[in-house]
Amino acid sequence: MKKKLTLGLAMLMASSMALAGCASKTETAGGNATGSEATTGETGTDSDEDYVLAADQTLRYNLGADPLTLDPQLNSATDASHIINNVFEGLMREKDGEVVPGIAESYTLSEDGLVYTFTLRDATWADGQPVKAGDFEFAWKRGANPATASEYMYLFESANILNAGAIAKGEKSIDELGVKAIDDKTLEVTLSAPTDYFLGLTGFATLMPVREDMVDDEGAWAKDTAKYIGNGPFKMSEYKMGDQIVLVKNENYWNAENVNLEKIVMYMIVDESTAHTRYTAGELDVNELIPTDEIPTLIAEDPTFYIMPKIGTYYYAFNMNNEALKDARVRQALSLAINREQIVKEVTKGGQKVAYGFMPEGITDNEGKSFTETAGDYGVNPKGDVEKAKALLAEAGYPDGAGLPEIEILYNTSESHKLIAEAMQEMWKQNLGINVKLTNQEWAVFQETTNNNAFDSLARRGWIGDYNDPQTMLEIFESTNTQNIGRYSSETFDTEMQLSRETMGAERMEHLYKAHDILMEDMPIIPVYYYVTNMMIQDSVHDLELTSTSKLWFGDAEMIEVQE
């Protein structure tokens, strides 16, 4: 039996239901996508054809850069989320495109839709201590506490957990957060408003439980194998900074009997050519860092290459504190002068699609309609509009770019990011007469720089939705949101977002559409393209899962003997 990659993003193609609602059973995804279209379908077969498990249940995966942190409440990066998603387990978990019980064996919901009561199953931490409802209460209050400085603190307000917003503003104490351990097996969560996607959010990293006796304020514990104790299917046995992280099967996981992998070796190979060479040499089983120039050939010839849909947008954030960039006409001119079609066809070459707005494909509204299609294209020409860009720049006082200070693009070290930045640099120079400086930083440093708004002009950014609702993309641009790296601030935008939290149904969605319109008019960002996932997976890998929010799940994966 050939490998199968379970794709939790089937809802992008066929389902209009929110993740936390009644998401349909996913199709399997696989085979290489042809052309530039991401596909779902089958690789191999779902029949009862026999296959043989390999004697060595070790999977080798290229994580890429060394993660900034592996602390569930402090992390905000996808690479670390792959690890957290397998070392820890929340109340619920996404599997096969559905939200299923994790550590919560069952739950009840009050008639008014405001109070969830979770009953925990018999589960233990990797060191054998029981998982308690108090571990969840501690972790959630830790994440929602402004003193922790979690970049995802806002997620508790997004989930409408009672008093989360007031706590963030310092108006209430953390003890008043709407989460309470009734006893060791019972967790009660009170919401301020019914929230359709709440259950799905309980499987997100920030809402994973952690042990109070293990954590520290800085997150150093999460790189110490003696302290990084989780409750998921794997545990960390080795951490060599800049080299590799090794996960091994957690024999104390409640569902350990159904976990086949014994070890996952996660290499930190940043260079795409090196990673690809090691994959083709059979030294890696799964790799996402693929040289752009190789992709056309891989699409045509390599059945282990995949293009898969992804709820996310690749964009550049303007530093709104930069004096020259405070003029919206300058920002709009820079956006209009970009040939996005050229970038996706000649630079990235991986099946990405031109971004007309910030909302990516796959996000649906209350009627199940595509938010992107309903919102429209905002007048974006995929090939750019140089004449209009020049006119706007002249109106702003910079005819043919004269007098405009040098623009700096900051990106994290990666060949693909470099190529995109170089393309933007050339377009702005040729079309607008603007001088552009390129600066790259290693991933951990880059995160610190951008999170602290310490970049000069523009910074590369990507945002992957955390749940299937427009709010997951829009809320990061609210004035107080910790992910708002450019420090965009709009009272009208903030008002629409707040009203969306106070309303439901069509009225709520109207406020979200208005918020998106305001964002695209103000242009504090330059959306470039909608993400896809490019991944190479050896035939010996079976039942690896990519969730709807692009997190890898190894709990059902296994290594099989390849039949020649």
Q: What is the pLDDT of residue 3?
A: 52
Q: Where are the alpha helices (DSSP H) in 57-216?
A: 78-87, 133-144, 154-158, 164-168, 198-201
Q: Which of 462, 528, 490, 522 is nearest to 331 (CA)?
A: 522
Helix 491-502 and helix 505-522, axial crossing angle in degrees, nearest 10 = 160
Q: How many CB atoms lie within 10 A of CB 213?
A: 9
Residues contacting residue 427 through CB under 8 Å, at least 6 positions apart: 337, 338, 339, 384
- Per-residue pLDDT at 196: 84
Please write the tens of the pLDDT for every residue from 162-182: 999 999 999 999 999 999 999
Q: List the one residue out of 324, 311, 499, 462 whose CA is nearest residue 403.
A: 324
Q: Are 334 and 322 in contact (CB under 8 A)?
A: no
Q: Which helix (H) or strand (E) holds 263?
A: strand 263-267
* DSSP alpha helix (H) spans, 434-524: 443-451, 471-474, 491-502, 505-522
Count CB-CB contacts under 10 A for residue 223.
Answer: 17
Nearest-angstrom CA–CA distance, 136 and 156? 13
pLDDT at residue 2 greater than cutoff 50: no
DSSP class of residue 346 equals I
Per-residue model confidence (pLDDT) at position 457? 98
pLDDT over threshold 50, residue 34:
no
In angstroms, the Cα distances linking 35 to 38, 232, 335, 352, 545 are 9, 38, 27, 11, 23
And the tokens for 55? 């004697």
Q: Residue 109 forms beta bridges with which residues? A: 116
Question: Rounded mean pLDDT of the chain?
Answer: 90
Sign of CA dihedral 423, 424, 427, 429: negative
Q: Which of 158, 198, 196, 156 has the alpha carbon at shortest distance from 177?
A: 156
The residue ranking higher by pLDDT, 33 or 416, is 416
What is the DSSP annotation of 30-79? -SPPPTT------SS-SSS----B-S--EEEEE--SPPS---TTT---HH
C-alpha to C-alpha distance for 239 and 61, rounded to whole angstroms:
14
* pLDDT for position 7: 67
Number of Cα atoms under 13 Å in the Cβ half of residue 230: 29
Checking if the pLDDT of 319 tops 90, the result is yes
Dihedral angle of Cα 402, 405, 411, 415, to the nearest 10 degrees = 40
Q: Is the pLDDT of residue 28 over 90?
A: no
**Token reading at 335:** 């956006």
Distance set, CA 118 to CA 106, 141, 188 (Å): 6, 17, 6
CB 29 within 8 A of CB 38: no
pLDDT at 437 over 70: yes
3-state secondary structure of 429: helix
* Band of residue 152 on the pLDDT scale cut at 50, 70, 90: very high
Give the dihedral sign, CA 340/343/346/351.
Answer: negative
Q: Which residue has the tokens 């007469």?
A: 433
pLDDT tens across 204-234, in order? Answer: 999 999 999 999 999 999 999 999 999 999 9
The DSSP letter of residue 109 is E
Q: Can you list the domains of the chain with their CATH numbers? A: 5-304+538-559 (3.40.190.10), 316-532 (3.10.105.10)
Please give the Cα distance from 436 to 411 (Å, whole number): 13
pLDDT at position 22 is 26
Report the distance separating Cα 133 and Cα 116, nearest Å.
13
Give the three-state DSSP class for 495: helix
Q: 456-493 burial, b for 16+ CB within 10 Å, e for fewer?
A: bbbbbbebbbbbbbbbbbbbbbbeebbbbbbebebeeb
Say whether pLDDT at 10 is over 60.
no
3-state helix, strand, coil in the chain (%, to 5): 30, 20, 45
Predicted local confidence at residue 467, as pLDDT:
84
Whether the per-residue pLDDT at 537 is higher than 50: the answer is yes
pLDDT of residue 289 exceeding 60: yes
Query: Structure pTM?
Result: 0.84
Q: What is the pLDDT of residues 202-211, one digit of tens each?
A: 999 999 999 9
Place of tokens 């990084």: 228
Tens digit of pLDDT for each residue in 237-260? 999 999 999 999 999 999 999 999
